[in-house]
A and B are shown apart, each in its own frame.
Chain A
Amino acid sequence: MIIYLIKRLLSIALTFFIVSLLVFLMMHAVPGGPFTEKDMPLSAEVKAALNARLGLDKPLWVQYVNYMAGVLQGNWGVPYQSPGETVISLLRQAWIPSLILGGSGVIIGAILGILIGMAAALKRNTWIDYLASALSVLGLTIPVFVISMMLILIFAVWLGWLPASGWGKPERWILPIAAYAAIPLATYARYTRSAMLDTLNRPFVTALRAKGLSEGRIIFQHVLRNSAIPMVTVFLPMFIGTATGSIFVEAMFRIPGLGSYFVSSIENRDYPLEMALVLMVTIGICFAYLISDIAYAWLNPRIRLGDDTQ
């Protein structure tokens, strides 16, 4: 198990390195830096001086090594768009709305999704099942910004129950949380249902019934535990979906979170900020990967015991 963890950590570190390198190269491969925009006409000398001060005149690999060395020491650079601050100080406040809204959205969505999925599997081919299927298809196919738009149109524009956008009072949180919850809810409703149905059809469930166990014990102990194994594997795609979705949710609801900084950093070609955000997302995804792997191994005795030789 410990060996397994070390292996996973190493492979995650490798992924992180490859992604950071790719993103770094990609951003620099395109001609033009932050000061070639039409709205920033600068003389050649000033530009050269600025480039030199920001280290943009050195070879690419030197820039990458310098940057990564800084990252490891907690120095994530200075955002071009507000040179008075560091990337870290700029993002310090941005964390909060993203975490509160995204976190509660994921938790609420996942719990509801699992419950709906279980209900659908246990009451197969009833209206509950059909409703769950409809919800999960909608949630998984329609882009987050379209869902956000629908929520705003219905609850803010037509019914006028809730404010459409902004950050601050808790009543402003409800719609973004609902938008955030859409992906986890749909994902978990769908996969819980299919995992439970799969498990319910396995012969050992009949064997458990034949032993005289109560239905509750069979469902909540045996079936749920077995279904959890395929269910943890969708944690990662769900996490990625939510992380990406935050950009759109925050843009739609005009929330000053990480997602909105991402959009502005892209618009302004603000390399340090952009790089920092991409790296953060990558780290987040890598840890989500690790968590889902650990959960998978922990739930599955074959892997936990290391018997899975082949």
Chain B
Amino acid sequence: MNLVEIKGLKVSFRQHGGEVEAVRGIDLSLKDGESLGIVGESGSGKSVTCLALMRLLANTATVTADKLELSGIDVLKANNRKMASIRGSSAAMIFQDPATAFDPVFTIGHQMVETIQTHRGLSKKVAMAEAEQLLLKVEIKNAKDVLAYYPHQLSGGMLQRAMIAMALSCRPKVLIADEPTTALDVTIQAQILQLIKGLQAEMGMALIMITHDLGVIAETVDRVVVMYGGKVMEEGPVEQIFDSPKHSYTQSLLASLRAGETRRIDPVAPEPVAPALELKNLGKIYKLRRRGRILSTYTDFSAVRGVNLVLPRNKIVGLVGESGSGKSTTGMMAMRLLEPTTGRIVVDGADVSDLGIEALKPYRKSMQVIFQDSYSALDPMMTLSQIIAEPLDIHQIGTSRERLEKALGWLERVGLDRNFGTRYPHELSGGQRQRVAIARALILGPKVLVADEPTSALDVTVKAQIIGLLKDLQTQMGLSMLFISHDLSVVRSLTDTVVVMYKGRVVEQAPTGAIFANPRHPYTRALLDAIPVTNPRDRRIRTFLQQSDIDKATPHFVVAELPGFVQPAPEPQLVAVAPGHLVEAVVTR
């Protein structure tokens, strides 16, 4: 008997008087101990399918199926008590954002104990001891303390571990993981995936891994179901899907995944003219307010410390790091959208660091920016043509007719139809909005473009298209681009040079090829290790560096080892280890 048996499942939602079909007749089955991946982009129905299996959909949903069984129980017919008893014990779930999946007003311990008690009727004391064991099992070292913590006191990665521990507490036959790593930092993502995979093998559970990321699939599962528009496009063993995808949608997914592997060939040409953008010793200090007993004290927090960065003409430089590394702050300072505490910004040979709003205005034409959230980047009250033409309005270029014509021209240039000009942003998809944002940023013909995570809010296939568009426009216009991202696979396909930031500092900088082939800084290595494989055959057990390990593992050099002259110092400094390859290291005599 199969653990999960789904036949002809259809789910639709009532919405504003209409019916929206989310799942349109899918078949799915899962055996004991098997691991299944469901992959698809947002709106493909992958999460809805699993929520229907657990009967957790809102009552605006209509669910019909020829067969919908979870460990032999008919989910459509079971009464509420029966359903409650199989949830958690037959199938447990973990969710995308652990910060919102815990009840904020109860401790972790309380929430774990109540789960254990509901299903296994243990005494509170025994349940608490069991909870502690489970936390240790998910590699939380201070398990006893964590039991007394409230959710807001833990980091996202720790919370997701606790969530997994809680899901395991009733020994479920199948663990359903709904995008379990999407809300986490890159380095944490890989650790969580490895943990899930290990626990699954150890406890002999079945696993359903729901994700939009084929890399996650390649890392974790044996069998794959590809969904699109509420239907199953393709199904098969993971190797077969990766080696010989039959359906064109799967092919395009794989193409976007592997786009990262084909590297640009960088013509190494000497650089006689001034670089397009130069950041010199750029730093940003925030005053943090700490509530004291009586008075508040202020401490300085350096978001960015002494960043030096050169963006050569007609090149793309990737700025990489996890959230909080200071990469976006650096980008915003480079655009003079945030005042730096120290340092100079030189655009095209001109120092713009101290210019006021008016004096800066002419330079603004040559420096532009694209943001991550395309929804907030477009004024909802303006039409697309107004949005795209706004830079021309601000700089008083051309007549209003010429401006409109130029805006419509750009609309076509970024791959949208001219008649979109009268539409409003809310009528567009995320990818389309990002296209409009690109058109608006480029209409003035800037020399420098800062792209702040422009693709991280987009679906995989759309992401590849936007990257392609940026690449094309960069070559056509001779743009110099600073591409800020946490996603190394994107950076690999797009950039000439990569700059890695960690805790506000540049820790490594090298040509893209060199950084992927020969990373020197431990943090860079941790980042590279965290990239999911693009082929299931490449799976491996990884070791992860804790943050303290990274700090300890800062490279050490003796002066004699390094080319050129370097002053020894107790503090880490950026040193050249190869032409164009800088790494932060402690240099001793």
Binding site for B on A (CB under 8 A): 3, 202-204, 206-215, 217, 222, 225-226, 229, 299-302, 305-307, 309-310
Instruction: Identify which of A209, A299, A300 gathers the most chain B CB atoms within 10 Å of its CB.
Output: A209
Q: Which of B88-96, B426-434, B518-526 contacts A (4 or more CB under 8 A)?
A: B88-96
| B152 in complex: contacting residue of A226, A299, A301, CB < 8 Å | A301
Judge whether A212 and B87 touch: CB under 8 Å: yes
Judge whether B87 and A210 touch: CB under 8 Å: yes
Given contacts A3-B293, A211-B118, A309-B291, contact A226 B103 (CB under 8 A): yes
Given contacts A203-B97, A210-B54, A212-B85, contact A301 B118 (CB under 8 A): no
7 sample A-B contacts, Cβ–Cβ < 8 Å, listed by A number: A204-B101, A206-B95, A210-B88, A211-B87, A217-B114, A305-B153, A307-B153
In the bound assembly, the distance between CA atoms of A210 and B178 in angstroms comes to 12
Which residues of chain B are within 8 angstroms of A222 by Cβ–Cβ distance?
103, 106
Q: Does B375 contact A (CB under 8 A)?
A: no
In the bound assembly, the distance between CA atoms of A310 and B286 in angstroms comes to 12
Which residues of chain B are within 8 angstroms of A210 by Cβ–Cβ distance?
54, 56, 87-88, 92-93
In the bound assembly, the distance between CA atoms of A204 and B105 in angstroms comes to 11
How would you classify the secondary structure of chain B's contact residues: helix, strand, loop or mixed?
mixed
Judge whether B103 and A208 touch: CB under 8 Å: yes
Q: Does B115 contact A (CB under 8 A)?
A: yes
Quote the shortest CB–CB distance from A38 to chain B (angstroms): 56
Binary interface profile of B, 273-289, with partner A (CB < 8 Å = 1, else 0)?
Answer: 00000000000000001
Judge whether A306 and B87 touch: CB under 8 Å: no
Given contacts A210-B54, A300-B105, contact A204 B100 (CB under 8 A): yes
Which residues of chain A are within 8 angstroms of B150 by Cβ–Cβ distance?
301-302, 305
Q: Does B205 contact A (CB under 8 A)?
A: no
Instruction: Identify which of B92, B104, B118, B293 gathers the most chain A CB atoms within 10 Å of its CB.
Output: B104
Judge whether A212 and B119 touch: CB under 8 Å: yes
Q: Does B125 contact A (CB under 8 A)?
A: no
Judge whether A211 and B92 touch: CB under 8 Å: yes
Given contacts A203-B97, A307-B153, contact A212 B105 (CB under 8 A): no
Nearest chain A residue, comparing its CB with the CB of B98: A207
Judge whether B88 and A309 touch: CB under 8 Å: no
Judge whether B100 and A213 touch: CB under 8 Å: no
Judge whether A212 and B104 touch: CB under 8 Å: no
Given contacts A212-B170, A305-B150, contact A207 B102 (CB under 8 A): yes
Binary interface profile of B, 108-124, with partner A (CB < 8 Å = 1, else 0)?
Answer: 00000011001100000
Q: Does B290 contact A (CB under 8 A)?
A: yes
Taking A206-B51, A214-B81 as known contacts, 19 extra A-B pairs with beta carbons closer than 8 A to each other, sorted by chain A number, are A3-B294, A204-B101, A206-B95, A207-B95, A209-B84, A212-B85, A212-B115, A213-B115, A213-B118, A215-B80, A222-B106, A226-B103, A299-B105, A301-B152, A302-B104, A305-B150, A305-B153, A309-B289, A309-B290
In the bound assembly, the distance between CA atoms of A307 and B291 in angstroms comes to 9
Nearest chain A residue, comparing its CB with the CB of B291: A309
Given contacts A206-B56, A207-B101, A222-B106, contact A302 B84 (CB under 8 A): no
Q: Does B76 contact A (CB under 8 A)?
A: no
Which residues of chain B are within 8 angstroms of A301 by Cβ–Cβ distance?
104-105, 150, 152
Given contacts A203-B100, A301-B105, A309-B290, contact A211 B56 (CB under 8 A): no
Nearest chain B residue, comparing its CB with the CB of A301: B150
Binary interface profile of B, 311-330, with partner A (CB < 8 Å = 1, else 0)?
Answer: 00000000000000000000
Q: Does B527 contact A (CB under 8 A)?
A: no
In the bound assembly, the distance between CA atoms of A306 and B291 in angstroms comes to 9
Quote the shortest CB–CB distance from A211 to chain B (angstroms): 4
Judge whether A212 and B89 touch: CB under 8 Å: yes
In the bound assembly, the distance between CA atoms of A207 and B103 in angstroms comes to 9
Nearest chain B residue, comparing its CB with the CB of A225: B105
Quote the shortest CB–CB distance from B158 to chain A (angstroms): 15
In the bound assembly, the distance between CA atoms of A229 and B105 in angstroms comes to 10
In the bound assembly, the distance between CA atoms of A222 and B114 in angstroms comes to 11
Judge whether B115 and A204 touch: CB under 8 Å: no
Q: Does B414 contact A (CB under 8 A)?
A: no
Which residues of chain A are within 8 angstroms of B105 by Cβ–Cβ distance?
225-226, 229, 299-301
